[in-house]
Structure 1
Amino acid sequence: MAAKILLMSDIHITEPGNQIIGLDPAARFRRCLEHAAEHHADAAHLFIMGDLAHHGRVSQYEILKQCLADQPFPVTLMLGNHDKRGAFAEVFPECAAGFRHGRHSFGETDVLFLDTLDEQAHDRHSGRLCHARLDWLQTQLTASKRPLVILSHHHMLRSGFDGMDAIHLRNGTEVADMIAASGRCQMVINGHIHRIIVSSYRGVTHAMIKSPCHQMPMVLGAGASSLSVAEPGGYGVLLLDPLSPLLHHVDVDLPECPVAFDGES
């Protein structure tokens, strides 16, 4: 049986009364957690892939900690461009040592999670892997021949949304080249864009997932990175088959539709 992993990204927690385009991020996040616990209770792990707090405030990370207190999954927290390392470490001191990257093993597959946050970025929201993080990644890529899935907050490749591509992982092509050259990686999955997108690079699938809160409108080309639309929130369900991993996406709180059997099919 393939291990089941849950993926959520870009939850953008705010304080009560501080909404994003009329949405309450904490309520939307809790709803996704409830949905996952009800429908995917057999999941082995939950990765929350950055942009944990909308403004990177201690008060927002405290709300996140409250949200996570009564959910059933082991959790790994990643950092995104809206996060602040100092405030995060105040609330989650157990996560404060060094960069927020690492490896978890599930059956025959390894999952690497990257730390792409660059708090010194000139444009504030783009990401970068510094030399130390690149060296860490190279060591991980060559440490084994086991199948590998990599999680990143920032996207490495072009998305088609010009505003978001201006704040991607600045050395993303270099990182994608390293990953492809290893011959191990089955899939790279990121958040950041708040949209389901799939591409490939040198034989490696690159997939992006939606946010539990607000989404990027489907307006390709020119446009600001802050464009948002109140489409349903959602999360990813990753099945770690060592030969062919599968990434599903769940939209939460769609209109109720009964499941029916079509006897004429």
Structure 2
Amino acid sequence: MKIIQLTDPHLVQPGQMLNGTDPLARLGIVLDDISRHHGDAGLLVITGDLTDDGLDQAYRALDERLRKLGLPYRLLLGNHDQRTTFGAIFPQVPRDEAGFVQSVLDTREARLIFLDTLDDGKVGGRLCATRLAWLEQRLTEAQGRPVLLFMHHPPFEIGLPALDHCLLAADDALSLATLVRGHGDVRQIFAGHVHRPAHGLWNGVPVTMLPGTNHQMPLDLHDASVGPVDEPPAYGVILLDADNLIIHLRILAPPAMAPAHG
């Protein structure tokens, strides 16, 4: 199975700019590339911060682009998203019984679990007792099957002071670790939020974080005050079978950075 992950589009009102770039145009570059090279993908997952301010027009622009792409998709919420507005534009996106944007997808290769880490009004993420109980049930159902987790906020610090104060809440991360260890075959966690390519090992489980599609955070291990920088958009190509998991990073050049011809 081929799964495409992209993250943090941070869409604003169409035609407006964010951090000196056009988020919708950059997302278009990524989706066009996916359409050209990976139209056979079985799933597209966008791991949160779909919009920058939760605007209705931004969600509508995303809906329009995804309809044109034509791939099955799952959308996750990040700290920049607005739950009610998102739900009005994407009523078909699965939710759990409590209304959180959480769901599962069982494939031939694994169970995919999509988590909602949005803590309304906060930059950091939460997995409250209700969401953790839901996850525990889904993991129990999947005993004997491999699991992949998708979420917006990474569950551990990554060594970047500008970000490490606003990841998944520490107590919730401990509870998540207990559930992951209890299942015994969570093979990979995919996250967004950090706007950087980063990979790690957390409680024995590999974790992959990707660049966003509009702007990135600099690789600065010392300064907590650094802000977004203009680096190329990217997305991940996940190849999954019964025994193997391979993740490729596709980095794209936006129009202003493309090489000249002639």
Contact 1:236 1:247 in 2 (8 A): yes
1:85 to 83, 86, 92: 83
* Number of the residue aligned with 2:233: 233
Return the offset for 1:211.
Answer: 0.7
Unaligned runs of 5+ in 1: 258-265
- CA gap of 1:173–1:256, structure 2 versus 1, over 3 A, is farther
Question: Counterpart of 2:31 in 1: which secondary structure?
Answer: helix
Question: Counterpart of 2:69 in 1: which secondary structure?
Answer: coil
Unaligned runs of 5+ in 2: none
Q: State the TM-score, normalized to the length of structure 1.
A: 0.90
Where do 1:152-231 residues align within 5 Å? 152-170=151-169, 171-224=172-225, 227-231=227-231
* Number of the residue aligned with 1:55: 53
1:5 to 3, 6, 10: 3
* Number of the residue aligned with 2:93: 95
Return the offset for 1:69.
Answer: 2.1
User: Matches of 1:36 and 1:17 in 2, distance apart?
Assistant: 23
Q: For 1:26-56, what per-residue CA distance to the aligned partner results, in whole angstroms no more than 9, with x for missing partners?
A: 0110110000111112110101111011001
Where do 1:86-165 residues align within 5 Å? 86-95=84-93, 97=95, 98-119=99-120, 124-144=122-142, 145-165=144-164
User: Matches of 2:217 and 2:74 in 1, distance apart?
Assistant: 25
1:24 to 14, 22, 25: 22
User: Matches of 2:210 and 2:177 in 1, distance apart?
Assistant: 18
Question: Counterpart of 2:250 in 1: which secondary structure?
Answer: strand
Q: Over aligned residue pairs, what C-alpha RMSD do you find?
A: 1.7
User: Matches of 1:30 and 1:212 in 2, distance apart?
Assistant: 9
Q: State the TM-score, normalized to the length of structure 2.
A: 0.91
Counterpart amino acid of 1:82? H
Counterpart amino acid of 1:34? D
Identity, in percent, stands at 34
User: Matches of 2:109 and 2:15 in 1, distance apart?
Assistant: 45
User: Matches of 1:31 and 1:230 in 2, distance apart?
Assistant: 15
* Number of the residue aligned with 2:39: 41
User: Matches of 2:186 and 2:229 in 1, distance apart?
Assistant: 33
